[in-house]
Amino acid sequence: MLKACLNGARLPDEHHALPVTPDEVAADVVAARSAGAAMVHVHVKDAAGRDTFDADAVTATLDAVRAASPDTPVGITTGAWAAPAVEDRLTAIASWSVLPAFASVNWHEDGAESVAQALLQRGVEVEAGLWTEASLHAWLESPLRDRCIRVLLELPDEPDEARSLDLANSMLATLENAGNATPVLLHGEDRSAWVVLRHAKRLGLDTRIGLEDTLTLPDGTPAADNADLIRAALGL
């Protein structure tokens, strides 16, 4: 399975094709699906292009996507950078009148279990974002572990290919040794994006690509848009 991660926490001036408005996101979802993506992950944006959990913004974005591509599973972020206080994230989730199919919860962030529980109580499926070995162990010890639909092993921006692959293999071994049965999606970021994506494909794991993770194609040239990245990933 290849997921399209359309925009991330990036700001509009980082790439000319970064989708920000509901209409832009919806059009990009259609293009991503046409290029071969199975599902999409979106960061809902405010008028300035910053991540937001505002209920009206969430509704506008999800309604636009579903009108344009009704059969596409859509997930959003709950990253703490958009609302550092746990209480603000919980209040936001409770205020949503239109819900995503799933949402990612970064297990290294304060209040991760509370955020995950709030999503589950509202019927939103949870992806566990595991960025570090410490967060991986915390998730393995969590009572919510078996209620997550997917583990996202998110490898950091790393120029050394061997170090990226060593970290990926170490985290995968930890999951295997713990008897993990939850599907794993493995991906990198910026300089590790294509290295880790290739590794995921070699291992038969789900993965993702999009302007959130990298602005360049495997050969280092700038990507035209998200569909360009998806076609490149599927063509590897």
- Supply the DSSP string of 28-88, one letter for each residue: HHHHHHHHT-SEEEE--B-TTS-B---HHHHHHHHHHHHHH-TT--EEEE--GGG--SHHH
* pLDDT at site 232: 98
- pLDDT at 100 (0 to 100): 98
What number of CA atoms fall less than 13 Å from residue 119's CA on the CB side? 28
Count of domains for the chain: 1
What are the pLDDT digits (tens) for 85-114? 999 999 999 999 999 999 999 999 999 999
Q: Single out the residue of 93, 67, 61, 71 nearest to residue 80, CA to CA.
A: 93
Distance CA 46, CA 22 (A): 10
User: What's the confidence (pLDDT) of residue 80?
Assistant: 97
What single DSSP character describes residue 216?
A: B
Give the model confidence (pLDDT) of 29-51 as tens digits. Answer: 999 999 999 999 999 999 999 99
Q: What strand order describes the sheet that includes 125-130?
A: 184-187, 150-154, 125-130, 102-106, 74-77, 39-42, 2-5, 207-209
pLDDT at 125: 98
The b-or-e profile of 225-234 (16+ CB within 10 A means b, else e) is: bbbbbbbbbe
The interaxial angle of helices 161-177 and 133-140, nearest 10 deg, is: 10
> Rounded to whole angstroms, how far apart are CA atoms 204 and 187?
13
Could you give the 3-state DSSP secondary structure of residue 3? strand
CATH number, domain containing residue 41: 3.20.20.70
Mean pLDDT of the chain: 97
Structure confidence at residue 155 (pLDDT): 95
142-163 pLDDT, tens digit each: 999 999 999 999 999 999 999 9
CA–CA distance, 5 with 155 (Å, rounded to integer): 15
118 — pLDDT class (breaks 50, 70, 90) = very high
**pLDDT recorded at residue 166:** 96
Burial status of residue 48 (CB atoms within 10 A of its CB: 0-12, 13-18, 19 or more): exposed
Q: pLDDT category, 63, cuts 50, 70, 90?
A: very high
Which range of residues forms the domain containing residue 174? 2-235
- What per-residue confidence (pLDDT) applies to 16? 97
Q: How confident is the model over 198-223, as pLDDT tens digits?
A: 999 999 999 999 999 999 999 999 99
